[in-house]
Amino acid sequence: MKVLQINVVYNTGSTGKIMCDIRTVLTEEQIDSVICYGRGPRVTEKNVYKTCGELYSKFNNLFSRLTGLMYGGCFISTQRLIRRIKKERPDIVHLHCLNGYFVNIYRLISWLKKSKIKTVLTLHAEFMHTANCAHAFDCEKWKTGCGHCSRCKQETRSLLLDGTHRSWMKMKKAFADFEGLRVVSVSPWLMERAKSSPILRDCEHTTILNGLDITVFQPKESNVRERLGIGERKMIFHATPKFDDDPDNIKGGCYLIRLAEKMPSVVFVVAGRYAERLRVPENMVLLGKVSDQNVLSEYYSAADLTVLTSKRETFSMIVAESLCCGTPVVGFRAGGPESIAVEEYSAFVKHGDVESLRKKTEEMLMCPSKRSLVASRAALVYSKQKMTRKYMELYQK
C-alpha cells in the first residue's frame, strides 16, 4: 500500500505535525509514504515534495481577491501536484488542510474523483463543507448555497466580488458522486456540521480525534512558579497564537483580561505573541511566544487550571495538551472543545459570559483534581498512537 498525504504545510503547525505523525507510523509499518505540501521552506527529505512556490502563492492570493474565489486559481501548482500523484500512483490520497493558496481545490477533488483514487479527507476547519469560511459561527447560509455574504470581505478578502455562491456551487459539483471518498472530522461537533452540509452530506463520515505526543505533554516538575514569583497563589494558564484585547479576535483575549480583573488574587500566565502597547492587569504575566513544546508542557503542569476563551474551535489542541499534563480546563462553549474534552475534568459556559466563567473557574479551583489521574485518563483519549492507529484502520478499509 502507498499513501500520499497533502497539506498546506509540512512538519509545522498542528496539521503539519499530524501529517508527520501519520507518516512516521506508515514508515514503521513498511507502508510507502509520500508527502506533498504547498507553503513554507523547501525540504530535501526523501519522498517529500513542495508543489508551490511562495511567490506564485502570493500571486494566487491577489488573484483570489480579484475573483472572489479563495480556492480557485493555482493552475501551475495544481498541475504540478497532479503530475506528482500520477507519478507516485498511490493507493490512497489523504487530504488535510488545502487552504493557503497553493492548490485549486475544485480541480484537485474533481480529478481525484474522475481518476477513481481512494481518498481520505480530514476536516481540520469548516471551509471544505462551507466552501468559503473557516468558521461559519452562527451563519447557516452554507446549508442553502451562500451568496450575499455579510462577512464576504472579512472571510474571503475579496476586493470587489461576492463569490461565495459561486464557490459553493463549484465545491458541491466537485464532491458530487465521489464514491471513493471518506470524510474524517476531528471532533464529533465538526462531523455533525459536515453531515449537515449539502456539499458533504452524502459522503461516509467518521470522527478521529487529533493526537499529540504524550511523552512530551505529561505532568512535569519545574521551577515555573518560582521563576515567575507565584509561590502558593493559584495559577491559571492560557495559550494562544496571538494575545490581544481586540473584541473581534476569535481567540477572545479580551475576555481573559476581564476575567483577570475579576480575580485579582489569581495569577494569569499567557503564552502567545502580543503587542508591546498591550496593557493588562497586574496579576497577568505575558510570556510571549512559547515554541518549545517541552517548555509549554511545564507551564501547563504548573497551572491549577487552563482557561479557553475562543469563540470557535473545531478541536482545540489546548484542551488536549492541558488535560494530558494533568490540568483541568474551563472555558466558553466553542463547538469542538466541549465535544472532545474529558467531561469530568472540564467545564464550559456560554460564550462571552464572563461572570459565569468566573464562577465556574472559582468552583474548579476550589476542587482540584489529582493530576496523575487527569493525565492518565487524557492519555487514553489524545495519544497520537491512538490517532494513527485509527487512520491505519481506515486506510485498510
Q: pLDDT tens, 1-39?
A: 999 999 999 999 899 999 999 999 999 999 999 999 999
Report the topology of domain 224-382. Answer: Rossmann fold (3.40.50)
DSSP per-residue string spanning 312-366:
-BSS-HHHHHHHHTT--EEEE--BHHHHHS-GGGEEEE-TT-HHHHHHHHHHHHH
Give the 3-state secondary structure of residue 45.
coil
Burial track 257-288 (b if 16+ CB lie within 10 A, e otherwise):
bbbbbebeebbbbbbbebeeeeebeebbbebe
Sign of CA dihedral 236, 242, 186, 11: negative
pLDDT at 303: 97
Asked whether the beta carbons of 319 and 340 are under 8 A apart, the reply is yes
**pLDDT in the model for residue 294:** 96
Q: 120 pLDDT band (50/70/90 cuts)?
A: very high
Report residue 134 as a C-alpha cell: 473557516
SS3 content of the chain, % helix, strand, coil (to 5): 40, 20, 40
* The pLDDT of residue 54: 97
Q: Are 304 and 269 in contact (CB under 8 A)?
A: no
Model confidence at 369: pLDDT above 90: no
* Cα 171 to Cα 106, 108, 125, 155, 166, distances in angstroms: 6, 11, 15, 17, 9
pLDDT for 87: 98
Q: 298-321, pLDDT tens digit by residue?
A: 999 999 999 999 999 999 999 999
d(CA 159, CA 154): 10
Which segments of 19-157 are extended strands (E)? 32-37, 48-50, 92-95, 118-123
Kindly report the CATH number that applies to the domain delimited by 2-207.
Answer: 3.40.50.11930
User: What is the pLDDT averaged over residues 354-362?
Assistant: 97
* pLDDT single digits (tens) 122-156: 999 999 999 999 999 999 999 999 999 988 888 88
Mean pLDDT of 52-58: 96
Give CA–CA dist 241/272, Å, rounded. 5
Across the range 74-78, mean pLDDT stands at 97
Mean pLDDT estimate for the chain: 96
Please determine, for residue 115, whether its predicted confidence score (pLDDT) is greater than 90. Answer: yes
Give residue 215's pLDDT: 95
d(CA 259, CA 150): 31
Whether the CB-CB separation of 141 and 205 falls below 8 Å is answered with no
* Region(s) of the chain under CATH 3.40.50.2000: 224-382
Q: What is the mean pLDDT of residues 65-80?
A: 95
Its pTM stands at: 0.94
Choose among 26, 5, 18: nearest CA to 88.
5
Scan for cell 466563567, then name that residue. 357
Span 150-201, pLDDT tens digits: 888 888 888 889 999 999 999 999 999 999 999 999 999 999 999 999 999 9
For CATH 3.40.50.11930, the residue range(s) in the chain are 2-207
23 C-beta neighbours (distance < 10 Å), count: 23
